[in-house]
Structure 1
Amino acid sequence: MHVEQEGVKFVIGICVPDSCSSRDITTMATLDLLKYRGTSFLESLPSFVIRNETIPVVVETFCSRGLFPADTFAIISLCLSGLFIILPIIASIYTALLNFKASSSFEQCKTIILQRKHRAPELEKPAGKSNFPSEEEYGNEKKHTCIDRVLKSFAIQENFPAVTTVNPQNQEYPCLNGIRVLSLLWIISGHTSQLASVFNIDNSFEWKSKVLEKPLYFYTLSGPVYLGVDSFFFLSGFLGAKSFLILTENSGQEVTLTMAMSYIYKRLRRLQPLHLASIPISIGLISLVKWGAFWELPKHQWDSCRRVWWANALLITNFVSVSDSCTGWAWYLSTDFQFHLTTPLVIFLYVRAKRVMFAVVTMTLAACIITSTLLSYFLKLSIRYPRGESQSRMNYWVEYYTKPYCRYGPFVVGMILAIMFATKQCPYIKNRAQAILGWMSALVIMVTVITLAFVLDDTPSSYSIMAALYQGLHRTLWAVALGLILVLCHEGYGGHLNTMLSCGTWSFLSKISYACYLTHPIIIIMYCGLQEALFHYQDINMLYLFIGHSTLTFIVGLLLTVLVERPFQRLMRL
């Protein structure tokens, strides 16, 4: 039941016999027949919430029965999800048989069987028989070879070792693995807290007073509104520019249209197979689960995927359907891909005219900062976490948070750092004093970015220009701090932190991080939606919830990497 009293809206979830209709529940609530421990469901809110003594009104009532019908859309999603499991199993069995056939044990058995068979005299053979395979046999052999390669692409025994094998010697920047995985864990922590607080926390006032107001809890929401995502943008810009620079070196310092198209195709090949596979998997799970009172978010996903799945396929969800997107967290993929479209142009300008390139990049970065600042000032956007009226929160996510012209800064920092590494003739850090200064600068920037989010006044009634400037600058500054850490670690001044970030465990988890990013919101949504009682916020409860979500996310991420991501990448290389 959606209930409202003097503009304050709240939701009441109840379990009733399936013979009751939504109209019956509305009528019973209006007649004060529905009570919990003697208290009416339409009891007035406390005086500190509302000003006047009015009676709550039932706005609308929904029944979760029949919300997720097994129609054509759901059946297709379930079939595709089943195919992602069945095909690797069949391919694994087929590959195992081929491996056994090629083994020495099989050859020994074959020799024994042939020795026991009666051999016909040589004269009985047809005189004109050729020892070479016929054209038909050659065609069959070629056909079987193609099938072998396709099936081996999905074989678990072919993909699992490639994912789990760790070889730090082949990695030029091993500390990036630690930054990537820690950023992912930070994002999982933010979504764990955010989704639980929105749907099923019974002490939301305590959660808001702690998590949203105290700097000590910056880890709970992944910093001031998901700085972990900006870490990913920085890494993507750095690795993307580095990859394209290698292409230019191999081609003799030339940037051609063919190279640019090849780069973009490789990026699509990296993103889309698992991204598009996650849609039927999520829809299949939603259709199978028996949802309780917290069904609104799964239903939103269900309806949105029916209408705007094509936006995910075209990687334009951050412009087309931000508020009603299919797998809303996939906005990052669209924004990241749009950033990568600019990488060939930047490297082209760098190869042809370095000064022009730096001028264009500087103006673009300045435009990004100015745009973010102006949007924040006129829309009065929060800097710690979107709160206030629903329209204000929607403006934050739709007009600022998901738009590429507001998030381009960290990606640019990554590209510039990759170019600096490609052109350096000597180390940037020449002595211990410079290393200490670099570490102090990086730490000061990070602490300042987090602290100012809780110091600056961003209330709508007294919104300051400093809050708007912070909104325009802080994500780029965060990327600058990460760049300093990368330089220090790469040039041998990382110390124990570099040892920790370069640990082999991060290398393994980094390989499955993309699948983990796509699946962890589904796991959190399912957990919230299956609850039959409200969740009581405590630090220890949230910590255990985070550990559980993270562990299950890494397990599912490993399965999807082995069963879907890596097989399709190998298949697209054939």
Structure 2
Amino acid sequence: MAFGWVVFLLLVGGSEALESSQVFNVSQRCMNDTNTFLWEINQDKPKEYAVLMYDAFGKIGSNVEGGNINQPGLLQQCRSTIGPSFSGQYCQVFLKQGAVQYFIGICVPDSCQEQDVRTLVQYSSLQFHQMSLIPPLPPIFVNQSTQEMIMTHCLPDTIHPHASEVACLFVCCVMIAIPLAATLFTSIMRSEQSGAVSPTLEFSHLNSGPNIYGTLKTNGSFCSEKNSSTLEENNSTSPVQLCLSQSCVNGCLQAFSLQTTSQGIFSSSSSIPGGGYSSLNGIRVLSLLWIIRGHSAQFPVINNLDNYKIWKKTVESSPVYVLTISGPVFLAVDTFLLLGGLLSARSLLSSIDKAENKLSISLVANYLLKRIKRVQPLHLFIMCLTISLISLVQWGPYWFPFIDTMMDCKTYWWANVLLISNLLPVHEICIPWTWYLSLDFQCYTTTPLLIYFYRLNRSMFAVVAGGLLLMTTVASAVITALLQLPVFQPSTMTSENYVLYYYVKPYTRYGPFLIGILTGIYLTTKKNQLLQRKRHAAIGWFCCLSLMAVLVGLAYVLRETPAYPSLPHALYQGLHRPLWALAVSWIILACEEGYGGFIKKFLSLSFWVPLSNISFACYLVHPVFIILYNGLQETPIHYTDINFMYLFFGHLVLTVVMSYVLTVLVEKPYMLLKQSSI
């Protein structure tokens, strides 16, 4: 980098070469300030600001062969420099040299706009025998010596929030302010009533069953006799109606208060609605940890590592790294889909029993509405929070991979509201990790139809379920073969088609959810145990664990992206997710029928319950912390196992703390309200 500046300076003869700003389409002020800097840096004893600006330029470092090709420079040092009539401005120049793409951070006067910077860099490259202001990577690393500029981007020094971002921040503040105000109101009300009357509302445990909210007691705490006599003077409304109205308001406020929402979070009793299935708590939390661990590794790998090639070689060499990001990573997502199908079938069958064994349209509508109320408040809060962070945080040089994705929220936010974001092209999804919520809800809407066929005719139900399973398996295999998709994670990170046509689509990911529905129907309606002898259980455990090992191992055998339609890749892609779901279903079944042994004890530990209670918030909020960490970095991250382990635990601790806060302030109040009897 130093060589590039010196050559440029010598060739142009100092400030004289940049006199004609009109010829080069550069603003006069930018030209003058650039000349001042170039002149100063050529002196025997340059001023400190010029030294700092020059020192802030990105320069080629070691381990280029291992992937250290980006040259970020020093953002804060650049911004801290103050020249005679300008300050330092940090800009990034994105370049392509052969098959290699990289960026270089440069420090220019703040009087220069992005177009000015682009013109100056292009001019120096075109006019002086290909000697660029930014020297290319040496030919020892890249065969192609000619650079191609992709774009320039200058990071702003000040924050200028857009109206939509301010609106999102306001929504977040309101959603937080309501429970805090309700907490204060409840404290005052209970303080005034202490010693005189019993609490107005009794709330059952949040996760103890469908009737989460509890019942309202008419013990006079809301409507006293004096109030009743006063209300009788109002001819338009009866005292009873106004008393009930006042009771509802007070009840809703108490539902939003921390005194209510904080109950049960740290309970050691099962968090599964309706009780039972205690092993699901452990399965859910372990799957969540797997996802967080994968994202903690995946996000830095996209652009932050200075030794990406070493990381890639390492994770491809051992199945141990399937716990981070290799092989069929994120099979935990299929585990979540399985659990979603199981609990959705159980919930609907329970509602049908309470409705005198009738599956009506109103029951289905209420069933879907409850799901929307369960998911959307926290989902929309995280969406608004992430949108507002775009303008409120001064990002570093490694923020750019996420800019376009986050900015898409201003255009495609409606897809998140309608829970259809996964049907959009992947580069248009607002808050990309929320694709799962859309997929889950779309699968959720199929549960009533399958339950209807199950109750109507078992043979027809078997045909429909079998047909759906066959269709999703064939769709996955055909798409993989036609598009020559990979099945191994480090390759999929460079395969846009993998996500665009396969990873987020309901027609390729429905299999595990369907198996979950079948498992839920069986566990809810069974009259006798499937497993009768320990011998049968032992065979089942052997097959289950062997199948899981084979699914992981085969991914390493097929880790190379096929150059032509590959039958092994297609079969693996079509079958490995349903087979994984079957293996997890066996674990649940064996644990429920008393053949789980130490695995049942481990998965049913009370330790998992509090984490299971906040798991939904954990899933939504953990990418925010990972993006914040990566986006604020000014230097690349160096991959080692110990570094990535500390990153994971750091993200995990912050995620758990914030998830508890969001659960009691945003998620749980609406869970209470939706099932109130008021």
Q: TM-score, with normalisation over the residues of structure 2?
A: 0.76
**Higher mean displacement: 278-287 or 553-562:** 278-287
Of residues 180, 185, 199, the one that matches 1:89 is 180
Distance 1:482 1:470 in 2: 18
Aligned mates of 2:507, 2:585 — CA distance in 1: 21
Equivalent residue in structure 2 for 1:102, among 193, 201, 208: 193
Measure the CA separation in 2 of the matches of 1:184 and 1:131: 52
Residue 67 of structure 1 deviates from its aligned partner by 9.4
Change (3 A) 1:346 1:43: same
- Does residue 21 (structure 1) correspond to residue 125 (structure 2)? The answer is no
CA distance in 1, matches of 2:556, 2:363: 46
> What does residue 556 of structure 1 align with?
658
- Quick one: distance in 1 between partners of 2:301 and 2:354? 51
1:189–1:222 CA contact under 8 A, matched in 2: no
Q: Which residue number in structure 1 is paired with residue 638 of structure 2?
A: 536
Tell me, in whole angstroms, the C-alpha distance in 2 between the residues paired with 1:389 and 1:552. Answer: 26
Q: Do structure 1's residue 292 and structure 2's residue 396 form an aligned pair?
A: yes
Say if 2:504 is the partner of 1:398.
no
| Contact 1:202/1:535 (<8 A) preserved | yes
The partner residue of 2:336 within 232, 238, 254 is 232
1:61-460 map, 5 Å: 61-65=152-156, 69-104=160-195, 132-135=229-232, 138=239, 141-168=243-270, 171-221=275-325, 224-385=328-489, 387=491, 393-456=495-558, 458-460=560-562
CA separation of 1:387 and 1:45: change in aligned 2, threshold 3 A: farther
Q: Aligned partners of 1:164, 1:402: CA distance in 2, in Å?
A: 33
Instruction: Answer with 203-212 or 317-326: which moved more.
Output: 317-326
Return closer, same or farther for 1:205/1:90 CA change in 2, 3 Å cut-off.
Answer: same
Q: Which has the larger radius of gyration?
A: 2
Runs of 5+ in structure 1 lacking a partner? 33-38, 108-128
Q: Is the 8 A contact 2:290 2:332 kept in 1?
A: yes
RMSD after superposition = 2.5
- Structure 2: how far apart are the matches of 1:242 and 1:15? 61
One-letter code of the match for 1:194? Q
Q: Where in structure 2 are there 5+ consecutive unaligned residues?
A: 1-92, 126-131, 199-225
The residue identity in structure 2 corresponding to 1:233 is L
What's the offset of the Cα at 1:26? 3.6
Q: Which residue does the alignment assign to 1:6?
A: 98
**How many percent of aligned residue pairs carry the same amino acid?**
38
Does the CA contact (< 8 Å) of 2:325 and 2:490 recur in 1? no
Q: Please list the CA deviations of residues 108-157 of structure 1 after superposition, one character each: whole Å capped at 9, or x if unmatched.
A: xxxxxxxxxxxxxxxxxxxxx99834335747655533331222122111
Which residue type is aligned with residue 97 of structure 2? Q
Question: Residues 438 and 79 of structure 1: is their aligned pair in 2 closer, same or farther, counting only changes over 3 Å?
Answer: same
**Contact 1:64/1:295 (8 A) holds in 2:** no
Alpha-carbon distance, 1:19 to partner: 3.6
Supply the distance in 1 between the matched residues of 2:362 and 2:620 (Cα, whole angstroms).
31
State the shift of 1:541 in Å.
0.3
Report how far residue 421 of structure 1 moved: 1.6
Cα deviations across residues 377-417 of structure 1 (Å, max 9, x unaligned)? 01011101263795xx1111010001101001101111111
User: More displaced, 170-179 or 97-106?
Assistant: 97-106
**Residue 481 of structure 1, CA deviation:** 0.4
- Distance in 1 (alpha carbons) for counterparts of 2:580 and 2:386: 33
Q: Return closer, same or farther for 1:340/1:21 CA change in 2, 3 Å cut-off.
A: same
Q: 1:565 to 1:130 in 2, by over 3 A?
A: closer
Answer yes or no: is the 8 Å Cα contact 1:386–1:396 preserved in 2: no
The separation in 1 between residues aligned to 2:453 and 2:588, in whole angstroms, is 25
Q: Is the 8 A contact 2:159 2:393 kept in 1?
A: no
Shift in Å at residue 178 of structure 1?
0.6
Match of 1:323, SS state, is helix
1:172 offset after TM fit, Å? 0.5
Q: 1:106 and 1:440, CA in 2 relative to 1: closer, same or farther beyond 3 A? A: closer
2:667 maps to which of 557, 565, 568: 565
**TM-score, normalized by length of structure 1?**
0.89
Query: 1:457·1:463 contact (CA, 8 Å) conserved in 2?
Result: no
Partners of 2:626 and 2:283 in 1: how far apart? Answer: 23
On the 8 A contact 2:327/2:556 being kept in 1, the answer is no
Deviations, residues 189-212 of structure 1 (Å, cap 9, x unaligned): 111111111121100010110124
Structure 2 counterpart of 1:61, one-letter code: T
**1:43 to 2:125 alignment:** no
Q: Relative to structure 1, is the Cα distance of residues 351 and 529 closer, same or farther in structure 2, using a 3 angstrom cutoff?
A: same
Paired with 2:177 and 2:347, the residues of 1 have a C-alpha distance of 35
Deviation at 1:27, TM superposition (A): 5.2
CA apart distance, 1:14: 4.4
Give the number of aligned pairs: 543
- Distance in structure 1 (CA, Å) of the matches to 2:655 and 2:227: 59
